[in-house]
Amino acid sequence: MKDDTHTAEHLYTVEIEGRNVTVRDVMVAAFIYRIKLEELLGSPRQVAHCYRLWRRLEQADQPPMTHLDIQHAAAWREAHEQAWQVAQVFLTDPHTKTFVLRLAIP
């Protein structure tokens, strides 16, 4: 299931993956996760940008990244961890579910 909350810039959605996903998981936990990411990183555009850089950093066949790009990638990872900590308490079973960010344009 996914949070279909649309922002002015619909650049990504937050989905919940796992067993027995409930409406509460999607409507509350995914929403809080998304809001926390945007609070920590800025606009939806900045969230998507940092996430793309983090994904790029994980791939071995990519060209070298600038120091600033690496900082943005690290900011994504830190924001994800903080957003997870805040939002996971709203999941019906945080041991069997996880948040997945899906970019509208990969």
Total structural domains within the chain:
1
Residues in a beta bridge with 16: 99
Distance of CA 76 to the CA centre of its chain: 8
Res. 72 pLDDT band, cuts 50 70 90: very high
pLDDT(4) > 50? no
Per-residue pLDDT of 27-43, as tens digits, reads 999 999 999 999 999 99
pLDDT(51) > 50? yes
Residues in a beta bridge with 14: 3, 101
**What's the mean pLDDT when you consider all of the chain?**
91
pLDDT(8) > 70? no
Query: Lowest-confidence range among 22-26, 58-62, 89-93?
Result: 58-62
Position 62 scores a pLDDT of 84
E strand spans, the chain = 2-3, 12-18, 97-103
Domain range holding 26? 2-103
Mean pLDDT of 56-63: 88
Position 61 scores a pLDDT of 87
Mean pLDDT of 88-105: 95
The CA–CA distances, whole Å, from 53 to 15, 68, 84, 106 equal 20, 10, 19, 11
